Amino acid sequence: MSAYDPGDRGGGYYSRPAGRYNEVFDGKQLRKAVQRRTIDYNASSLKWLVDRPRKTRAREYPSILPRTEYALNLYPPSAPCMKANSVTSVCTKFVHSSVNKPRCPINSCAWTPEGKRLITGAATGEFTLWHGLTFNFETILQAHSSAVRVIQWSRNAYWMVTGDQQGVIKYWQGNMNNLKAFQAHSEAIRDVSFSATDLKFATCSDDGVIKVWDFELVQEENVLKGHGWDVRCVDWHPSYPILASGSKDALVKLWDAKSGKCLTTLHGHKNMVVKTQWNHNGNWLVTGSRDQLIKMFDIRMMKEIMTFRGHKKEVTSLSWHPVHEDLFASGGWDGALYFWQVGQDEPVACVANAHQSSIWDIDWHPCGHMLVSASGDHTTKFWTRNRPGEGKDMMSDFSYGDATGADNPGGAVGERRQDGREFANRY
């Protein structure tokens, strides 16, 4: 018999031909090495840095046809040729699902400012750190004694502030070192937002008030009262001392953070407002409510300018894209993930069954090429933009459900005619 006989079912390990099995010995058992799926944004960023000096006009950028070999021509969302078309950054392609060993609902999630790791806050009060490229587990720590409700980084990326179910606020450094903890509210903290200078921050709670704090002195400066029920969200204007808050009383209020006075009340929703968020331009305010509607207000006119319809259940989360001014994503009570573009009242893309339970929080990667969603089904899921040639059929394979919306969301800028021929749109 030869050294290796394929018919010998009981052949030893050393009788197998070298390289036939890629196995790793960890001291306990033999197991096959698992190659992790990786989403690396460095390649597209480097390509853009190399091509940028040579391409000064729009016609000089390569057209991207809907075929996989054109994936090498993709640029990051911040490149002007991609920035002009926000639909190229719609992230409907499922990448990975991360689950903690102690299974529990995930209430909040936030990318680290450099985008290398993701931090999730669980109902058990634990922080979990996930790798930003390969999505594998890195570490877990007991951060709070009750459920983590909100995770917010300062604008200068030096500090992280978290709030929990018992009304406790904690300060964290980038190395997850806890420096300060204090009782901020008597009930659960629902949202935290930093000022443009990071010298102040605002918190809102189920106790019905909004508080403005001095970050360095850890002192309460203002208490904003006016909502008749639980305050579920607050967001600080990117340039001015103006706060936008939403409450269980279905009202959206704008506040002067210095004087504590209510500037105006925006009516429009018929149920609890769960999220308010300013656009980076400082003019648009988007709000999501349990009436299944998302509304956008322009503070220059102090009126509603758009209503986005498409959610079949309550809206539970919202997030503007970090690069594209006119693109944002939202999550629903039914686990659906929607992508919206300003100027279109219907979603440009939708992943109908992104999660099996409500999506409590979503956050864009700082580079804008990836989106993460945290849900009550105990999972944290990563989504990225499609590569050229990956359309609806590819999305359905990865997303546990039918993806509807634009024919070509997230990356492929080519389209297909009715007769089957393909053509490309230049940026």
Q: Which parts of 325-383 fold into alpha helices (H)?
A: none
What is the Cα–Cα distance from 380 to 364, expressed in whole angstroms? 13
How high is the pLDDT of residue 417?
Answer: 33
pTM (whole model) above 0.75: yes
* Rounded Cα–Cα distance for residues 148 and 175 (Å): 18
**How much is the pLDDT for 384?**
96
CA-wise closest residue to 133 among 113, 112, 115, 149: 115
Cα separation, 189 vs 205, in Å, equals: 4
pLDDT at residue number 31: 61
- Where on the phi/psi map is residue 242: left (φ > 0), alpha (ψ -120 to 50), or beta? beta
Q: What's residue 23's pLDDT?
A: 55
Second-level CATH architecture of 91-384: 7 Propeller (2.130)
- What is the token pair recorded at 279? 């656009």
**pLDDT at residue 81, rounded to an integer:** 82
- For residues 325 and 280, the answer to whether their CB atoms sit within 8 Å is yes
- By the 8 A CB rule, do 39 and 370 touch? yes
Mean pLDDT by 10 residues, the chain (427 residues): 47 49 56 76 89 80 83 88 89 95 94 96 96 94 97 97 98 95 97 97 97 97 94 97 96 96 95 97 97 96 95 96 97 97 94 96 97 97 91 43 33 34 31
Which is nearest to 153 in space by CA: 168, 171, 169, 133?
Answer: 171
What pLDDT is stored for residue 22 in this prediction? 54
Sign of the alpha-carbon dihedral angle for 23, 28, 34, 36: negative
CA 239 to chain centre: 22
Alpha carbons 227 and 220: distance in angstroms, whole number: 19
Q: What are phi and psi of 340, to 5 degrees?
A: -125, 150
Looking up tokens 């969603």, which residue turns up?
373
d(CA 185, CA 146): 14
The predicted pLDDT at position 220 comes to: 97
Q: Could you tell me which residues are beta bridge partners of residue 151?
A: 162
Q: What is the pLDDT of residue 265?
A: 96
Which amino acid belongs to residue 227? H
